[in-house]
Amino acid sequence: MKGYEKYVPFKQIEMPERTWPTKTITKPPIWCSVDLRDGNQALVTPMNVEEKVEFFKLLLQIGFKEIEVGFPSASETEYAFLRRLIDDNLIPDDVYVQVLTQARPHLIERTFEAIEGAKNVILHFYNSTSTLQRKVVFKKDMEGIIDIAVKGAKLIKELSEKRINKDANIRFEYSPESFTGTEMPFAVEICEKVMEVFECTPDNPMIINLPATVEMCTPNTYADQIEWFCTHMKNRESAIISLHPHNDRGTAVAAAELGLLAGADRIEGTLFGNGERTGNVDIITLALNMFTQGIDPGLDFSNINKIKETVEKLNKMKVHERHPYAGELVFTAFSGSHQDAIRKGFEYMKESLSPYWEVPYLPISPADVGREYEPVIRINSQSGKGGAVFVLEQFYGFTFPKAFHPDIGKLIKEKSDALGTELTDKQVVSFFEEHFVNLFSPYELGVHTCVSINGSDDEEFNGCIKINGEEKALKGLGNGPIDAFFDALNSLGINGFKFVNYEQHAISSGSDAAALSIIELLKDGKNYFGVGISNNTKKSAFRAILSAINRFEKEKVN
């Protein structure tokens, strides 16, 4: 691939004293949703006010306490939306709405008009600081960029002190935009200058947001930047260090997690990672990653399907089938070996009553995100016996004998190969019953009786079977109904079958409960399975025997 020579490798930070690699995330960060700003501006069709109100209510239900609601000084729609939230008292008392503005006087003044009457506000202002932005966009040196930030901070402080509503809580947030492309000493210097304006203290800290406005380096380097910043800034205890990762390199989640290890306190992101270009960091993935490590993320994603449905409707964008935790296929296994391991994991959980989630290939229980009724195992030509057996066990409600699994898997794989498509659960059950249950040729059970003799364990079978449609009478005696039926079959020359194993299970309850019987017979050195279903337990067993014999006859013909 040509053209790579024009790209300059990102310069690493010399930081041998880094400590973040040995740390572990043990608690959630402060979460701030920016769906209504970063997420909304990235949509082909941005949300209208009513749609934004619905999205805002969804974020409240999930549990966000900090929500960026827009850039009211730059957009009339976002101004109207914020006024709607304030005037209709839609903002709970424990929730901060965050508003964004550039560090420009007329935009700052308009922002203060927009927030009038709000109880809790985070006023977030920014200006670009990166080497490239200074050179290409602003054509200013470092002092000129610092001057923009400090003047903006002074105006914000002045206007906040003049506010009519003195009961309001205003917190301040500053972002050196394009932080990842900014020299670290300069990033520290400009943030310190802004903090000096607000006279920050540990009791009255300021949010310092360090955005990967463009993701430019590997996650470990981003973590180095965050740790370098945190350890070199003055008055660190008077700042809440916030991260705002983008996903240009596809590693925003990793960058955010390593950034937390490096000292950050807060994360700004969106649901499902929607945002400019390749998107913002995905808060759902971050939060549920923590959940799988035994950490309460403080956000509720227990009904992930409903959240996905609402976001897809409002964003008019589809969540990818492979999206972590929420995608349609993320709890689905097609691979045979994976299906078998998952099936055994569910069996282990049921038998062991383990308080811990211990199912291979599934890092989280689907039930914890409200997906317990969706198929975890789905069947196609790549699937093995374990997947087909799992579907049947879920349908019938009991465990199939292990020796029966290869025959089931072979049948379902052949069907999937022939059709060239995924098989639904209904199709799997239908094919199983067609080939193992409803197999009535050449032998079919007819009218019969089977009763005990003089109250003993011995039983007598009397009745008929159809052989290729022709009825034949038969009679047999034996130690129990199965033995008696085999004796009756022998009288018609149907012999040579050795009884190997027999299981019977109730597959419904009540007075009309059905019994499913599984029989295993041996003939000419090969095992044959048959299945019978009936409300009469003896009839169920007789049908299973004939099913196994019919499978032998069918194989002999083929």
Q: How confident is the model at residue 510 (pLDDT cuts 50, 70, 90)?
A: low
Looking at per-residue pLDDT, the higher value among 521 and 336 belongs to: 521
Q: Please, what sign has the CA dihedral across residues 324, 326, 327, 328?
A: positive
Instruction: Please give the structure tokens belonging to residue 420.
Output: 């060239």
Looking at per-residue pLDDT, the higher value among 63 and 453 belongs to: 63
What lies within 8 Å, CB to CB, of 554 at 6+ separation is 439, 441
Q: What 3-state class would DSSP assign to 219? A: helix
Instruction: Spell 273-288 as b/e; 16+ CB within 10 A means b.
Output: bbbeeebbbbbbbbbb
Whole-angstrom distance, CA of residue 271 vs CA of residue 284: 6
What lies within 8 Å, CB to CB, of 161 at 6+ separation is none
The average pLDDT across 477-499 equals 92
Beta strand spans in 352-497 (E): 443-452, 459-467, 470-478
Q: What is the pLDDT of residue 335?
A: 74
Strands 120-128 and 459-467: unpaired
Predicted TM-score (pTM) of the model is 0.76
Q: What is the pLDDT of residue 389?
A: 86
Q: What is the pLDDT of residue 138?
A: 61
Q: What is the pLDDT of residue 135?
A: 66
Is pLDDT above 90 for 136? no
Is pLDDT above 60 for 165? no
Q: How many CA atoms lie within 13 A of 397 on its CB side?
A: 9
List the one residue out of 177, 214, 178, 176 whose CA is nearest residue 195.
Answer: 176
Is pLDDT above 70 for 139? no
Pick left, alpha or beta for residue 523 (phi over 0 → left; psi -120 to 50 → alpha; otherwise beta): beta
Is pLDDT above 80 for 488? yes
Is pLDDT above 90 for 105? yes
Is pLDDT above 80 for 508? no
Looking at per-residue pLDDT, the higher value among 332 and 375 belongs to: 332
Q: How confident is the model at residue 394 (pLDDT cuts 50, 70, 90)?
A: confident
The average pLDDT across 58-77 equals 95
The average pLDDT across 83-98 equals 97
Q: What is the pLDDT of residue 511?
A: 60
Q: What is the pLDDT of residue 12?
A: 87
Which tens digit of pLDDT belongs to each residue from 192-228? 999 999 999 999 999 999 999 999 999 999 999 999 9
Whole-angstrom distance, CA of residue 449 vs CA of residue 426: 34
Instruction: Please give the structure tokens belonging to residue 342.
Output: 């998952």
- Residue 513 near residue 494, CB atoms below 8 Å: no
Q: What is the pLDDT of residue 303?
A: 95
The C-alpha angle with vertex 457 and arms to 520 and 455, in degrees rounded to 5, equals: 145
Q: What 3-state class would DSSP assign to 128? A: strand
Instruction: Please give the structure tokens belonging to residue 192.
Output: 């310190």
Strands 515-523 and 498-506: antiparallel
Instruction: Please give the structure tokens belonging to residue 450.
Output: 């089977």
Q: What is the pLDDT of residue 541?
A: 95
The average pLDDT across 121-133 equals 87
Q: Which of 73-82, 128-137, 223-232, 440-449 has the lowest mean pLDDT?
A: 128-137
Q: Which of 34-38, 385-389, 393-397 has the lowest mean pLDDT?
A: 385-389
Which tens digit of pLDDT belongs to each residue from 258-282? 999 999 999 999 999 999 999 999 9
> Can you list the domains of the chain with their CATH numbers?
28-315 (3.20.20.70), 336-424 (1.10.287.1400), 443-557 (3.30.160.270)
Mean of per-residue pLDDT scores for the chain:
91
Q: What is the pLDDT of residue 509?
A: 63
Q: How confident is the model at residue 239 (pLDDT cuts 50, 70, 90)?
A: very high
Q: What is the pLDDT of residue 383?
A: 61
- Residue 81 near residue 51, CB atoms below 8 Å: no
Is pLDDT above 50 for 128? yes
- With 0-12 CB in 10 A as exposed, 13-18 as middle and 19+ as buried, what is 297? buried
What lies within 8 Å, CB to CB, of 188 at 6+ separation is 229, 232, 233
Cross-strand pairs, 297: none
Instruction: Please give the structure tokens belonging to residue 278.
Output: 């390749």
Q: What is the pLDDT of residue 102?
A: 92
Q: What is the pLDDT of residue 373?
A: 43
Strands 66-70 and 96-102: parallel
Whole-angstrom distance, CA of residue 201 vs CA of residue 106: 28
Pick left, alpha or beta for residue 37 (phi over 0 → left; psi -120 to 50 → alpha; otherwise beta): alpha
Q: What whole-number percentage of the chain has pLDDT above 90?
A: 74
Q: Which of 12-26, 350-364, 405-419, 519-533 has the lowest mean pLDDT?
A: 405-419
